[in-house]
Structure 1
Amino acid sequence: MPLPDTSPAAALHVRARDPENLTTAPSAAPSGTEADTGTESAVDAGDAVLDNPAWSSLSGHHRSLAEGNEHVLRYPEDVSPFVGVRDWGHPDVWDAILEVFGHGAEVSVSHADPLLPEGWTPVFSVPGVQLVQTSRLVPRPDEEAVELGAADSAAMNALVERTKPGPFRSRTHELGRYVGIRRDGELIAMAGERLHPAGWTEISAVAVDERHRRQGLASRLVLDVAFHIQQRGDRALMHASAANTSAIAGYEKLGFALRRRLEFGAVRTP
């Protein structure tokens, strides 16, 4: 069965902090790890860089794109909504976020479950999963796949608009290598690289036009992207909405496995 071709956008669970107690809560085990659930994940959750992939990416591979300060880094608005926070437990973290985003701004929050100070409000929340490649994954290049770039931006965004695979903006293609399949001159499928935490590369924006689904195109492109990731010496990871069980099953069939459960979402600054 071909890999399902949709991957809904993710969001993050956040909790309002008791205004009578604004002290920083003690750190907890990441949601979905063994310490949190009492069950063993399908993959060893020991690679801590994946617990904070946006920060690792923005402070490392994507440093040239990063905007922010010593505590908080973000991508330009037309590149990605993702935000990296060095340490949610630091006493200055909320002031640092406000410094970067200003008042009344929507801020993406991922791989964390922070207690919000008074005046900060949750915007949306969706449970998600993080998947990583295993030895079962057999990446391979695809002969029909073509590399996409700035000249293809309009076509890429049009495909994203039709398929809704998740956050994708006019310059998202600058985050890494993107590939697609064209038929009769039309871009009908794509996938590419998003976050680059140290030693890893995220596969994202897996999208196939509805008229061309159930042909295995998504699987082929995921394996092509994974092949080039592996050629660089990195390992592949993916994120998906926990509700998208068909996509998760497809990724697991290819050779990915659950590392952790998490929440994705956004908060609004006061």
Structure 2
Amino acid sequence: MADLSLLDNPVWNALTTAHHILGQVRGLAARYQDDISPLAGLAEPTAAALADLAALVPAGRGVGVVSPAALDIPAGDWQVLRAREIDQMVYEALAPQPTAPRPATPLIRLTAADVPDMVDLAKRTEPGPFLDGTIRMGAYYGLRSPDGRLMAMTGQRMRLPGLREVSAVCTDPDFRGRGLALALVSAVAAGITAESETPFLHVKTENEGAKRVYEKLGFRVRRAVHFIVLRRL
């Protein structure tokens, strides 16, 4: 049984355990490599931890900090671009729900050759940051149309002991309404549970439509976490 308390501070716990090779750690702060993800985490919500993070981030660069509590940002090192709560959902079903539709085209494992299309789809649909190196975080899957267009994708982002995040859930606007995201999330969650790990994901608190989709697949809201985007001055 995975220790769900690790999800209270997911980025810090990922970068100091299963994803340590993908990031940098300095004192009380950790961040993913520049080409992988702008996500960062702190061991504790303190000025000392934010000072350690400032030492990891070049001037003018932005980072997204996920934390269990709201951060008090001291003047000097950072500009706050936005701050909000997001809901964290954890998969508690024993198996994927049979209601997930089967798409007409086969699910494919995406590779480095697919990255330009993946980055383009993410830019157009904004599921969250997706960079050239994000694919290194885990397995990503997609569905292509008969003419080769990437219709939808979903994959694995943060990894912690016994826990793996479902992320980059997005569908090209031309192909929405076909249940593609539902099928992809179901398949990715099934793959994670097949490896005896627990899937989790993050979703905007107000996105009730997405949360209903995830609930159909066996996810439940565990808690809210804080997300703040900072730019290094």
TM over 0.5, yes or no? yes
Measure, in 2, the Cα distance between the counterparts of 1:268 and 1:152. Answer: 30
Residue 118 (1) aligns with residue 75 (2)? yes
Structure 1 gap ranges (5+): 1-45
Unaligned runs of 5+ in 2: none
One-letter code aligned to 1:173: I
Shift of 1:207: 1.0
Q: State whether structure 2 residue 231 is matched by structure 1 residue 268.
A: yes
Q: Give per-residue Cα distances to partners, 1:109-161, cap 9 Å, x unaligned.
A: 21231112232432112331000011265268978111001111011112112
Residue 97 of structure 2 corresponds to residue 97 of structure 1: no
AA at the equivalent of 1:49: L
Alignment of 1:27-106 (within 5 A): 47-89=4-46, 92-106=48-62
**Percent of paired sites with the same residue:** 33
- Seen in structure 2, the aligned counterparts of structure 1 residues 161 and 268 have a Cα distance that, compared at 3 Å, is closer
Distance 1:84 1:139, change over 3 A: farther
TM-score, length of structure 2 as denominator length = 0.88
The answer on whether the counterparts of 1:139 and 1:227 sit within 8 Å (CA) in structure 2 is no
Matched, 1:156 2:118: yes
Runs of 4+ in 1 over 2 A off after TM superposition: 102-107, 118-121, 139-143, 267-270
CA gap of 1:164–1:107, structure 2 versus 1, over 3 A, is: closer
1:115 partner letter: D
Larger Rg: 1
- The aligned residue for residue 258 of structure 1 is 221
Residues 57-101 of structure 1: per-residue CA shift (max 9 Å, x gap): 111111111123132111112110101212224x63132112111
Matches within 5 A, 1:1-270: 47-89=4-46, 92-111=48-67, 112-119=69-76, 120-135=78-93, 138=96, 144-184=106-146, 185-270=148-233
Higher strand fraction (1 or 2): 2
Task: Supply the distance in 2 between the matched residues of 1:128 and 1:117 (Cα, whole angstroms).
Answer: 23
Q: What is the RMSD computed on CA atoms of the aligned residues? A: 2.1
Considering Cα pairs closer than 8 Å and 6+ residues apart, tell me whether 1 or 2 has the greater RCO: 1
Q: TM-score, normalised by structure 1?
A: 0.77
